[in-house]
Amino acid sequence: MERSCWKQILVLVLVFICTYAEASSPRHMEDFIRAVRQVEDEDPESDPVSVLRSLRRAAGLNDAFIQNFLGGADSGGPEVTPDLSALIRRAVHHTVTAGAAEEGVVLTPDGTTVALTPLLLGIEAGFLSKPNRPVRGLYQLTLAKDLDLDLKHGSPQNQLLGPDGCWDNIAHPQVFTLWDSPALLTTAQINGGMDGVVLGMAVSDRSRRPVKLSDLLREYYCHQLGTGGLDVAPRLISRRRRDNFRELVQVPVLSRQVVRAVELQRRLTGRSTMEAKEKKQLMALVREGMKEFVHKYMVCPPIIPRCMWGAKPYKGTPTNLSLPLSFMFIHHTYIPGQPCLTLQQCSEDMRSMQRFHQDDRGWDDIGYSFVAGSDGSIYEGRGWHRQGAHTLGHNSVGYGVSFIGDYTSRLPSQHSMGLVRDQLASCAVSGGRLKANFTLQGHRQVVDTSCPGDALYREITSWEHFGE
């Protein structure tokens, strides 16, 4: 009896230890940066390349494809304790479970989810670059290496890239679940790949190389915006991910590197060289994938989904829009009256507006289609397909987009206005949701915000009609 009791206690202790270890895995980018700092502290004199090799060794990222560009990770770098090594492996090793949970990803302060593997490989490639030469293997290691030729041939899908997903808890994230079946690359992998390219290119400039990897990651992901928002923020921060990536990457070059990555994978695994027909099929697939990639991740702005800002469910039965639409109506919230500069504050403002619209106004949901924060992101309201409640008499013919803040006598940041005027509008047109000759119109709200000196209204009416 006593032995049985001890067995039960031992089982409970083991369960507790395993549960604690899993719960303590880094799920915030800040948590992972602290783990990197622990590795650096094992050998304070180690350089970033040595630390990256230690991380790669701990994570098991040492296959033939990676070694072809980065060399082996079997030796060199700080020695990592078994416990820390296990934690790093869980944090970095990318996979999607049968239940659609994506692992090897972390939540960043800007509200996006990033896969760590392509991020780390891209940075290491940048550090290993030669002066006055392109960074060897940068695209293959970040955005092209996971393309599996056999996965797609003979089984075409409508979606080649994505999807995104939702965390179980934003404050204490543990599980990230995709909202659809994974395609070639998930959105988290693409975010990590874009960051890997941006940071890899940055550190390839020897004059800008940081002393510590943890400092590079902290400066990129954890920069706190001041009152000037992104108008006065540094260039190399994650909130500018898509802007920086657009400036660095030429799509034809990226397409060629994708094909080369597939060819290299075949060669390294001993498979035969692609025949002409097979290569033609691959190139056609890549062209389609690049169209989707450009639209989703280079034209469209970062959009924070409803699940990330804590939206309540839609009440009743939504009315679907008949696309494409002819108008985009621009508002400001008036209340909340101050610009929001963080995911937490913007999310709180979104929930506040939704409560007001649902509980006080009696509407089915927050009225706007989308809302622009001053943190560099667009927040999903009713979205692309549901009719909003934003412009009396015109809800069925246009999207309603609002800036968080009172802009009767001042303007939103230039970055926020460009996010709506250029990126969101372009995204809607290229996605077939707005007509190419749609009208972008400042709407003077009927309640509370009608003001002859409305600065935002004057600014919007001075914008050229997009696409005409």
d(C-alpha 110, C-alpha 459), whole Å:
28
Q: Provide the H-helix boundaries in 93-233.
A: 116-127, 138-139, 149-152, 187-204, 213-221
Nearest residue to 300 (alpha-carbon basis) of 409, 430, 193, 158: 430
The DSSP code for 376 is: S
Alpha-carbon torsion, ordered 322, 325, 330, 336, to 10 deg:
20
**Span 117-124, mean pLDDT?**
97
Q: How many CA atoms lie within 13 A of 130 on its CB side?
A: 6
pTM for the structure as a whole: 0.90
Q: Is 147 exposed, middle or buried (0-12, 13-18, 19+ CB in 10 A)?
A: buried
Percent of the chain with pLDDT over 70: 89
**Which 3 state secondary structure label does DSSP give 50?**
helix
Q: What pLDDT does 16 receive?
A: 39
- The DSSP bridge pattern shows strands 113-115 and 105-107 to be antiparallel
Mean pLDDT taken over the chain: 88
- From residue 84, alpha-carbon distances to 60, 74, 358 in Å are 13, 17, 47
Q: What pLDDT does 24 receive?
A: 54
d(C-alpha 422, C-alpha 425), whole Å:
6
pLDDT band at 464 (very low <50, low <70, confident <90, very high): low
pLDDT band at 102 (very low <50, low <70, confident <90, very high): very high
For the cut 80, the answer to whether the pLDDT of residue 453 exceeds it is: no
Nearest residue to 432 (alpha-carbon basis) of 329, 322, 331, 330: 322
Over residues 375-402, the pLDDT tens digits come to: 999 999 999 999 999 998 999 999 999 9
Q: What are φ and ψ of residue 318, in 5° steps?
A: -70, 155
Mean pLDDT highest for which of 22-31, 281-290, 441-450?
281-290
Token pair, residue 437, equals 């000759």
Percent of the chain with pLDDT over 90: 70
For the cut 80, the answer to whether the pLDDT of residue 156 exceeds it is: no
pLDDT band at 443 (very low <50, low <70, confident <90, very high): low
Distance of alpha carbon 435 from the chain centroid: 27
Over residues 13-64, the pLDDT tens digits come to: 444 334 434 445 779 999 999 999 999 999 999 999 999 999 999 999 999 9
Helix (H) / strand (E) element for 284: namely: helix 276-293
pLDDT band at 149 (very low <50, low <70, confident <90, very high): very low
Contact indicator for 346, 377 with CB cutoff of 8 Å: yes
Q: Which residue has the tokens 């009315």?
A: 319
User: How many helices (H) and strands (E) in the chain?
Assistant: 18, 12
- From residue 396, alpha-carbon distances to 16, 103, 165, 322, 326 in Å are 54, 40, 28, 8, 10
Gyration radius from the chain CA atoms = 24
| Residues contacting residue 36 through CB under 8 Å, at least 6 positions apart | 51, 55, 213, 214, 217
**Which 3 state secondary structure label does DSSP give 176?**
strand
Contact indicator for 379, 371 with CB cutoff of 8 Å: yes
Q: What pLDDT does 148 receive?
A: 53
Among 146-155, 175-184, 409-418, 435-444, name the one with the lowest average pLDDT.
Answer: 146-155
Q: Is 241 exposed, middle or buried (0-12, 13-18, 19+ CB in 10 A)?
A: buried
Q: Is 393 exposed, middle or buried (0-12, 13-18, 19+ CB in 10 A)?
A: exposed
The residue among 196 and 292 whose pLDDT is bigger is 196
| 3-state percent helix, strand, coil for the chain, nearest multiple of 5 | 45, 10, 40
d(C-alpha 154, C-alpha 82), whole Å:
43
**Span 139-168, mean pLDDT?**
72
Contact indicator for 288, 338 with CB cutoff of 8 Å: no
Nearest residue to 194 (alpha-carbon basis) of 146, 123, 257, 253: 123
Nearest residue to 241 (alpha-carbon basis) of 464, 29, 92: 29
Q: 381-387: long-range contacts at Cβ-Cβ below 8 A with a sequence spacing of 24 or more?
A: 381/306, 381/350, 382/314, 382/318, 383/306, 384/321, 384/323, 384/428, 384/431, 384/433, 385/320, 385/321, 385/323, 386/314, 386/318, 386/319, 386/320, 386/321, 387/318, 387/319, 387/320, 387/321
pLDDT band at 159 (very low <50, low <70, confident <90, very high): confident
**Span 191-198, mean pLDDT?**
97
**Span 96-107, mean pLDDT?**
95
